[in-house]
Amino acid sequence: MNDYKKTHRYSLDRRTAGHSPRKYRCPQCGQRTFPPYIDRETGQPLDAAVCGKCDRLLNCCYHLPPREYFKLHPDAASRRPLGDLYAAEPPRHSCVSRTLLSSTLGGYEGNTLAQWLHCVFDTYIGAEGVDRVLRDYLVGTTPLFGGSPVFWQVTPAGEVRTGKVIGYRSNGRRVRCPKPLMHWMHQGLKDFRLRQCWFGSHRVQHPSQMLLVMESEKGALMTAMALLTLGEECYRSAIPLATGGCGGLAPTLQRLTDPDDAHAVLAGHPVVLLPDEGKYREWLEKSQPLRRVCPSVIVSDMMEKPGELAYAPNPGDGPDDALLRNMTQGLLPLDLDSDAVVRCCTPF
């Protein structure tokens, strides 16, 4: 890292004006969280409007390094000697050891969430079916927080980006008081460059697969188990994915076409967005860029229409809450209609 800083001509401007870093408005999100790249020889920004990296790593992720900037602006490249611009650059992101992932797989008898999922779904798909879904999603187990799931984030190409540990109670609810229990498996790894992908992305292997996008990792697991009750074909052809939160869905054309970005998994697939209660309009607006790279895009409004469900959703309820409450009333579906909306939403 230090050698990189010494030898590269261009670097992010981390100088301060007074007590605050010099930052501009990000060209993508509009926030003043954008340090530009500067030419170390002159001390001036290459192009403060676009050539830089947004500090909002989870909610924006905009990054245009000098190498890409000069490709887009060859005239600028011709006016500036590239020098060591094309020297070896550090990787764009880091990966966690596959050995670490493998060491956590299984042990579901000591996994609080896994045991709760067995209580809910064993009646429908058997204990073997529950364990199968957990294995297919590479859910690990850690003794942290009294025995918790590790939601590994693995790309379709098999890169292990990180793992998220969340503490759950025996009733399947997250521990939130006195504070949420959460841990990242990359914590403590030196010089780790985090770039997340979505939970379940590794299961996306065929263009014909329909992708069901929601916030919660637990919700993605429950949806997958519900699909398994409908048959092997449903389970394999519709893949639930979890963004990890409402802010995890923020598609732009740049992100959708960047093979390293979490959103890239959606390109070329039919997509159904399943927002939590109160998030329909936000996700409907966010869906617009998807229509340029996905053959079909549906934004489910079931959580906004109480008449569509067997109960009135509570504020902030997610698709997994709807699924669970419908199941308690014996409404888990037995087959799927050919219509895409019904095909993806009936499990709830």
pLDDT means over runs of 10, the chain (348 residues): 50 62 79 85 82 79 84 68 45 88 96 96 94 97 96 95 96 89 93 94 94 95 92 92 92 89 94 91 94 93 68 74 69 39 41
pLDDT of residue 224: 94
Could you tell me whether strands 139-142 and 37-39 are parallel, antiparallel, or unpaired per DSSP bridges? unpaired
Long-range pairs for 176-183: beta carbons < 8 A, 24 or more residues apart: 181/144, 181/145, 181/148, 183/142, 183/144, 183/145
Continuous segment of H or E residues that includes residue 104: helix 98-104
What's the DSSP call for residue 110? G
Contact 348, 317 (CB under 8 A): no
The closest of 305, 336, 148, 311 to 226, measured between CA atoms, is 336
pLDDT at 8: 67
Q: Which tokens sit at 90?
A: 């550090």
Cβ-based neighbours of 186, under 8 Å, separated by 6 or more: 94, 96, 162, 163, 192, 194
> Which residue's structure tokens are 């060209």?
27
Q: Which SS3 state, helix, strand or coil, does residue 153 take?
A: strand
Q: What is the pLDDT of residues 207-244, one digit of tens each?
A: 899 999 999 999 999 999 999 988 899 899 999 999 99
Unique residue bearing structure tokens 């969430």: 113
Task: Give the Å distances, CA to CA, from 214 to 65, 247, 274.
Answer: 31, 11, 5
> Could you give the CA distance from residue 240 to residue 272 in angstroms, rounded to a whole number?
9
Instruction: Give the DSSP letter of residue 226.
Output: H
Encode pLDDT of 297-331 as tens digits.
Answer: 999 887 777 555 556 667 777 877 777 776 666 55
What is the pLDDT, as a whole number, of residue 50?
87
Give the span between the Cα atoms of 71 and 324, in whole angstroms. Answer: 51
Closest CA to 217 of 172, 259, 280, 282: 172
DSSP 8-state secondary structure symbol assigned to residue 53: B
pLDDT confidence of residue 316: 73
Residue reference for tokens 């611009």: 85
